[in-house]
A = this chain, B = another copy of it.
């Protein structure tokens, strides 16, 4: 079976990437990989479904062994993507999506250079500000902090393979662009070296 493709999608807060991801998952051709965490399971959590629950010592051992594709620490707990889960899904021919921030994305690129890195952008800075403000739940100060964070992330655009602008109300088009990228990436010569064998 042909291996699936690994997509790493980043998009700053306010790009509307959640809706784009939703369209992709609905096609049934893209799958999220289950993350590992050191936080304690809660009511609805299911081992291997919501997360792989591990101890801090186990997580740090995985990091040391290069078994975490990417990870980060929030509020005293580790969260990350175990390599084996991604590799298993890819081997089953599934397209895997990791929706992670820029630092994690660049970690993945180092460990799995065949990953396809996609950056989702809002159409412009005014739209971004409107989207961040529109939620109405954050103070002006928090919004300014986020705007600065977006700028730091956008500065890394050229580390990515593709850049997609998520225009207002056109998240389906952005999802279709990603599907088009998937179709093209499947035709990459480097992913089809076995075609040579038929003729040699």
Contacts and interface: CB of A to CB of B under 8 A. Distances in A.
Given A195-B157, A200-B154, A119 B189 contact: yes
Interface bin, chain A: 35 or more
Q: Counting chain B CB atoms within 10 Å of each CB, which of A165, A189, A193 scores highest?
A: A189
A124 B156 CA distance: 43
Interface stretch (A44-52, A67-75, A175-183): A175-183
Given A200-B151, A200-B155, A121 B195 contact: yes
A90 interface: no
A159 B128 CA distance: 40
Contacts of A198: 124-125
Interface string A73-88: 0000000000000000
A154 B199 contact: yes
In order of increasing CB-CB distance, the 4 nearest A-B pairs are: A184-B184, A154-B199, A163-B189, A160-B189
